[in-house]
Amino acid sequence: MISIARLLLFFVITMGYNAFFRNTVKMNRRLTWVFTFSVITLVLYLGSLLGFMLQTVYAISVLGCLLSLYYLWAVWKKKYRFRRLDYIALGMMAYLLLHYDNFTHWATIVKFFHINNALPTQQDTIISYYTYPVGSSLFIYFFTTIVGFSEGSMLVGQFFLIASSLYAMFAALRDDRRVL
């Protein structure tokens, strides 16, 4: 039960950023998810370089919740309206049933992040990933910090990242009737 509540919290956080990019920045609705996840990853990377990895997760979360509250208030005041899910988004949800990822190469670095709340350095002897590109692993660290750390939640976080990238590919379509 608590994992479902924490997953809903993750959606509240990311939907706040998603609504901000879609409504305020006027970004294509199919690009907002991958852009949101990329911005979260970049901000988390900057925070981890400064030595504030866990604090950055909390700051991103608070700002995302505030953006969600503002968006709900704006919908209530009729400034914005809810968008329905299109059939491409529904197809991406169906993709969840087929998703599989061999996560041994990045799960180790995510576990390291949870143990140390810092990026690995050359002095760390337990892990040799100090030159590993940590982009997607940082997003999964963010996801598992919010939702809870487990192998299953790492896979779900990776799925959301992959699905958002696949969904963004449909942003190039000018006519939705040409999807196939």
What tens digit of pLDDT does each residue of 20-51 get?
A: 999 899 998 888 999 999 999 999 999 999 99
Look up the pTM and report it: 0.80
Q: How far apart are CA 163 and CA 33, in angstroms?
A: 9
d(CA 2, CA 138): 23
* Beta carbons within 10 angstroms of residue 134's beta carbon: 23
pLDDT value of position 125: 72
Lowest mean pLDDT among 15-29, 101-115, 118-132, 150-164: 118-132
CA-to-CA separations, 102 to 38, 51, 114, in angstroms, rounded: 22, 30, 20
User: Is the pLDDT higher at 55 or at 123?
Assistant: 55
Both ends of the chain: CA-CA distance in Å? 39
Percent of the chain scoring above 90 in pLDDT: 39
pLDDT(120) > 60: yes
Residues in Cβ contact with 8 at an 8 Å cutoff, skipping those fewer than 6 apart: none
Q: Given this model, what pLDDT does residue 16 score?
A: 94
Where residue 162 falls among pLDDT bands split at 50, 70, 90? confident
More confident residue, 93 or 162: 162
Q: What is the pLDDT of residue 6?
A: 93
Q: What percentage of the chain's residues is helix, strand, coil (to nearest 5)?
A: 70, 0, 30
